[in-house]
Structure 1
Amino acid sequence: MKIRRVLATAVALAVTTPAALLAVSPAYADAKPAAQTQDQRKNKPSIKELEEAAAEAQKAYDKAAKAEAAGRVELEKTLDDLSEVNGTHPLAVASAAAKQAATDAAAAKTAADQAVTDAKAGLDALTETATEEERTAAETALSEAEATATAAATAKTAADTAAAEAREKLDDARVAAVRAYGVLQNAAEDALAAKVAADAALAKAIKEAEEAGEGEEGEEGGDCEPELDLTAEVTGLPNKLVAGTSTDFSIRVTNGSDRHMDEVLTFVSVHATDKSGLKDTEKFFRLQWSSKSAPKWQNADADDYIDGVGALKPGAHADLKLRLTLDKATPAGNGVAFIAADFFNEDGTCGGAPGLDMYEFDVKAAGSKPGKTEDAKPSKTTKPGNTGTTPQGSSSATPVATGTNGSLAATGSSSATTSIALAGGAAVLLGAAAVFVVRRRKTGSDA
């Protein structure tokens, strides 16, 4: 079964999109976010255009990958040619020759230094009986050895310098070869990223088109109808949560009607902001669920239907366990959980709660003491047949009212921030009827 999660999208949009938040505030009624959205939709590329873009991206990647592969072969050949061992490149030959010359110069200096040492020893070994000629010869030999040693030292320094310069040129050539290959490698990586992005955009557009087509086919089976006797009641969700902790709570879904429901789904949406109300923090939240039929904990998306109830007979109920975990880095602020339930039958009929139950809670920084806590109380965000609503916070008796003109007047507040209140108002403004028009099941479609 495929479901267009329009309700989930609406709540997420209201909470996470600044334009949506501003649109429901009287002070920003002229911000005109709708015009921006229309422009974006008008300029949205078609599936054909996305297919062409994906094809071009594939061609570009194939070309870049081929060039990268050829570049790798060329790099390996160049590095072999630039090897100091049997390298045939002129720079490799020159470096090897310079290195050998430096080795020979070092050996010559060592021999010259030894000759000096020997000459000094010969001079020192002369006795008092040595003739003047013998002493002069020894002194001359020492002087000549010292001159040779000085020349050998100079030659060694020059040879070392030449060897270092030749080695540097060789290394520079190697670096240049690697960099040249790096350009090809980066180009291939960029082309791959572009290809992946193009493929993802095409897949997303196709999915959206399929879902849109599903909604159109759903019209043949009739609109989903509000069902007040299908309820989802939360217990155990405290009105204060601390970062770095996990909280277990439950949802009991009850079919209080006289009709059999083939498949019942529970909608759960959790959103939060920091204390300023301007920064979304739900990325630090992790929601999991389990049920009697599926006892293993499973991750739930931020805005999603939980498929863990199954069929419900008239008067029957089912329980879902939920676990909400807050990362230690979660900033202090405020949060809200939206809960609802829908049903879909094999004959194409469908329906569910006409609105959302809103549970507000405070978020405390890691290590904080929550103090006295109570179970969060539900506030209805919509009522059937009514274009306005009066949601009430968990700790305030003063409602936040929205009227048919879409304005939001907060005359009182609970612990939730203005942005959370505005989010609730934005979801309300969709209207229960509009929500149920798009909550349809595609007849005969399985997922």
Structure 2
Amino acid sequence: MKIRRILATSVAAAVTTPVLLLSVTPAFADDKPAAQTQEKPSVAELEKAAAAAQTAYDDAVAAEKAALAALKTLEGASPLAQADEAAKLAAAEAAAAKTTADQAVVDAQTAVDALPDTATDEEKAAAAATLAKAQAAAVTADGAKTAADAKAKEASDAYQDARVAAAQVIGQAQKATKAALADKNAADAALAKAKEEAAEEGGDDETCVPEPKLTTVVTGLPSTVVAGTKVTFNLRVANGTDKTMDEVFPFVYVHATDRSGLNGLDDLVHLQWSSASSSKWENVDNENYIDKISPLKAGAHSDIKMRLTVDAKAPAGNGVTFVAGDYWNEDGTCGGSPDLEGYEFMIAAAGSKPGKVGDAKPSTTKPNTSDLKPQSGASASPVNGSLAATGSSTATSQLALASGAALAIGAGAVFVVRRRKAGSHA
């Protein structure tokens, strides 16, 4: 959970629809209806699921290996393979015997046909007997070959059927392995994400503390920005404590709506930053952080050049830029600005000529928070009617509501300093 971003988003929602403050935001709600509550599996439960998925995958791999080994054995010295080979050999021998017998018949017939007219009855009888014997042997050989061929086919069919069955088992085992691997990867990813979220929600930041002397101040941001233009301003991050902060992470987030307050324009407003000594502009990252200041000594400050771009197609509307700072020390101590500072500005339609305008100022308007009771990690109860009853459509009143909400929501409820990137403080 990215606490800074959730806070900024829920505060910015007040600009769009102030009545939302009556219930703050689900991200901070303790008292959601049971029907709307979806319990996430715990890290321990996900660890069990990941272990079970690993076991299933290991079993599937073992089954696939066993299936491959079974096919290899079948194709080697298995009884079916041996029977197939023996039947093939017997069929070949029977075919050879039939060929020999058929040739004997041909030879005997040739001998009969070659007898001279002077041949005696005894010679004719002997030749005829030899032919008859050869013909009988040929019939026997033919029958033997037919039987051998049948046995060879039977043995071959049995062997091939077994090979096909073994191949099918392998195919099924491979599919099972693939599915088990997908399940394992999904379980591992879910566990990793849960651990990451647990860490971001404060799993390793229990010692982080609010530090009001780590200040973030914006100067030079115009109170009116014309669509289709870029404006530069300065962000000063100052360490007002008497100790060095090893790493400081400036947080910057911009939110905008059209004049109705009902349509968000966040995709039409863009923030970039540059160090005071560089002319290169960098985009604020997708977590709304600027590269760390390392270190920021006691009593020192660092100036960061900022650039706000409003797309030409943006309609007239309202905007607010939130800033804050988080720090992390090598000894494990950490902290940050207790609240977000909001700087309001108007968005004028492209081509407008607003003339000379002043700088955007941080809002100091505080709503009636008598009914707000911030709780650690939870939402406040609904505020009383003073917020919802404003009904104003001006940027000043709506943005004042947002800044007031930042004070009310952020005062003690959602301060969490998290490590910006895993391993960055090793």
TM-score, normalisation: structure 2: 0.55
2:423 aligned with 1:445: yes
Q: CA deviation at 1:416?
A: 1.9
SS at match of 2:274: strand
2:345 aligned with 1:366: no
Q: Distance in 2 between matches of 1:321 and 1:37?
A: 47
Residues 70-81 of structure 1 correspond to what in structure 2 (within 5 A)?
none
- Residue 203 of structure 2, aligned match among 198, 212, 216: 216
- Residue 275 of structure 1, aligned match among 248, 252, 259: 259
Does the 8 Å CA contact 1:15/1:419 hold for their aligned counterparts? Answer: no
Q: Distance in 2 between matches of 1:288 and 1:369?
A: 24
Residues 340-419 of structure 1 correspond to what in structure 2 (within 5 A)?
340-379=324-363, 391-392=364-365, 399-405=366-372, 406-407=382-383, 409-410=386-387, 415-416=394-395
User: Would the alpha carbon gap of residues 15 and 303 (structure 1) be closer, same or farther in structure 2, given more than 3 Å must change?
Assistant: farther
Structure-2 residue corresponding to 1:168: none
**What letter matches 1:35 in structure 2?**
K
Give the paired residue count. 279
Structure-2 residue corresponding to 1:433: 412
SS at match of 2:307: strand
Does the 8 Å CA contact 2:268/2:314 hold for their aligned counterparts? Answer: yes
Q: CA deviation at 1:422?
A: 4.6
Does the 8 Å CA contact 1:235/1:249 hold for their aligned counterparts? Answer: yes
Residues 8-47 of structure 1 correspond to what in structure 2 (within 5 A)?
8-16=5-13, 22-25=19-22, 35=32, 39-42=36-39
Q: CA deviation at 1:301?
A: 4.2
Q: Distance in 2 between matches of 1:225 and 1:305?
A: 19
Q: CA deviation at 1:341?
A: 1.5
Structure-2 residue corresponding to 1:80: none
Does the 8 Å CA contact 1:273/1:420 hold for their aligned counterparts? Answer: no
Does the 8 Å CA contact 2:238/2:299 hold for their aligned counterparts? Answer: yes
**Which of the two has higher C-alpha Rg?**
2
SS at match of 2:368: strand
Q: Distance in 2 between matches of 1:328 and 1:202?
A: 45
Does the 8 Å CA contact 1:218/1:442 hold for their aligned counterparts? Answer: no
Residues 17-416 of structure 1 correspond to what in structure 2 (within 5 A)?
22-25=19-22, 35=32, 39-42=36-39, 206-214=192-200, 215-219=202-206, 222=207, 224-292=208-276, 295-301=279-285, 304-379=288-363, 391-392=364-365, 399-405=366-372, 406-407=382-383, 409-410=386-387, 415-416=394-395
Does the 8 Å CA contact 2:248/2:328 hold for their aligned counterparts? Answer: yes
Q: Distance in 2 between matches of 1:343 and 1:367?
A: 41
User: Would the alpha carbon gap of residues 229 and 426 (structure 1) be closer, same or farther in structure 2, given more than 3 Å must change?
Assistant: closer
**What letter matches 2:368 in structure 1?**
A
SS at match of 1:24: helix
Please, which runs of 5 or more residues in structure 2 have no aligned partner?
A: 55-181, 373-381
**What letter matches 1:327 in structure 2?**
D
Q: CA deviation at 1:21?
A: 5.5
SS at match of 1:304: coil
**What letter matches 1:281 in structure 2?**
L
User: Would the alpha carbon gap of residues 26 and 345 (structure 1) be closer, same or farther in structure 2, given more than 3 Å must change?
Assistant: closer
Q: Distance in 1 between matches of 2:270 and 2:230?
A: 9
Q: CA deviation at 1:203?
A: 5.4
Q: Distance in 1 between matches of 2:47 and 2:30?
A: 28
**What letter matches 1:236 in structure 2?**
G
Structure-2 residue corresponding to 1:6: 3
> In percent, how many aligned pairs have the same letter?
45
Q: CA deviation at 1:296?
A: 2.2
Does the 8 Å CA contact 1:5/1:439 hold for their aligned counterparts? Answer: no
**What letter matches 1:439 in structure 2?**
V
Does the 8 Å CA contact 1:287/1:302 hold for their aligned counterparts? Answer: no
1:120-153 Cα distance to aligned partner (Å, 9 max, x none): xxxxxxxxxxxxxxxxxxxxxxxxxxxxxxxxxx
Does the 8 Å CA contact 1:344/1:351 hold for their aligned counterparts? Answer: yes
Q: CA deviation at 1:314?
A: 1.1
Q: CA deviation at 1:295?
A: 4.7
1:398-433 Cα distance to aligned partner (Å, 9 max, x none): x54333434162487794266645544444343433
Q: CA deviation at 1:444?
A: 8.8
User: Would the alpha carbon gap of residues 341 and 213 (structure 1) be closer, same or farther in structure 2, given more than 3 Å must change?
Assistant: closer
Does the 8 Å CA contact 2:340/2:410 hold for their aligned counterparts? Answer: no
Q: Distance in 2 between matches of 1:232 and 1:415?
A: 26
**What letter matches 2:383 in structure 1?**
S
**What letter matches 1:11 in structure 2?**
A
1:366-408 Cα distance to aligned partner (Å, 9 max, x none): 11112331001112xxxxxxxxxxx32xxxxxx5433343416
User: Would the alpha carbon gap of residues 355 and 365 (structure 1) be closer, same or farther in structure 2, given more than 3 Å must change?
Assistant: same
User: Would the alpha carbon gap of residues 364 and 439 (structure 1) be closer, same or farther in structure 2, given more than 3 Å must change?
Assistant: same
Structure-2 residue corresponding to 1:95: none
Q: CA deviation at 1:23?
A: 4.0
Does the 8 Å CA contact 1:9/1:303 hold for their aligned counterparts? Answer: no
SS at match of 1:445: coil
1:342-367 Cα distance to aligned partner (Å, 9 max, x none): 21111111122221211111111111
Root mean square deviation of aligned Cα: 4.2
Q: Distance in 2 between matches of 1:208 and 1:419?
A: 37
**What letter matches 1:432 in structure 2?**
A
Q: CA deviation at 1:209?
A: 3.4
User: Would the alpha carbon gap of residues 210 and 271 (structure 1) be closer, same or farther in structure 2, given more than 3 Å must change?
Assistant: same
TM-score, normalisation: structure 1: 0.53
Does the 8 Å CA contact 1:346/1:443 hold for their aligned counterparts? Answer: no
1:291-349 Cα distance to aligned partner (Å, 9 max, x none): 14765211114761212422111121111011100111111111111111221111111
Structure-1 residue corresponding to 2:148: none
